[in-house]
Structure 1
């Protein structure tokens, strides 16, 4: 699949899920108007770019940066903000490290190196954070930093590209996978807790 198509497919799937009533599970704290504004801005910014010196920046990159700043702004508590920034820094460093490892040793690639990295980062984000907005912010910061590391450390002839189609695919895959995994884990936890509670109540009833 050509880069850029995955993000469009996941965007369409997300729209369908939200229209079907799944928004409350995925991003409860964001209003419908806010989500529609995000989708409109994403589609528009994915088609536009700016060039600053030797940096070719897709406007999606700036949109993801703005989302990260907005989420950091609404989070209460300095320590909480610092904790989220540390998770973003960790994910950014891991993003760059995984890129280098897969470039040096392609035998580690399972299916597609970009998708492998995205799914690994999603799993790590789920382990470190459960809150929807904070997951999105941490992953966003991770990709922003990872792209910037890649652009600054590896010199290229011509322009450095940030926020390109691969960035968009990875961001969407990570966010979608992280939220889906979180929902499944929470449902499994609630189900197991209900089963254990029911078993304990039945056992107590039998003893009586």
Structure 2
């Protein structure tokens, strides 16, 4: 579990092809300072498991599905990436709850001088975005300024632009998206009731004793 507060801009130093994926070597002295094999690190918003650590670098294996569903498949040696360690119990939640499970990719549409950045996203994800809600872009927790059917905007402050890859993005660049996990869970829980209402049925409330005290 992460918070979307990037700790360090790392660098891809090597990419090794595997039978069904790839092994990345990433330079990140801050996030590797107290990391060990088996720990989770977020790389551009993707939760990866540390395989080895040496001299401020770590290696992580990425399966083929992750390479296809995220922007990690397009990484090259020398690329900069956003890095974050998994949060510890009791840490401040500076951003929002981020799982490191990419829901899809978006494309940068525009970046203006005030930091307003617009993205085109798959329409299937648009229902999870609301004005002033949370969205994770390349592992960065951001607040949605506005959202439409196939695009949304966020305000990237100068500090975020300087300390993350968002300051390196240009129109046409792909980015990883993770929508608010709470929205997905709420949708799943509400789905049976919404389906019943659509069919003209009144959902029945389960009686588990409640105020009557019946067991």
TM-score normalised according to structure 2 size: 0.28
Bigger fraction of residues in helix: 1
Bigger fraction of residues in strand: 2
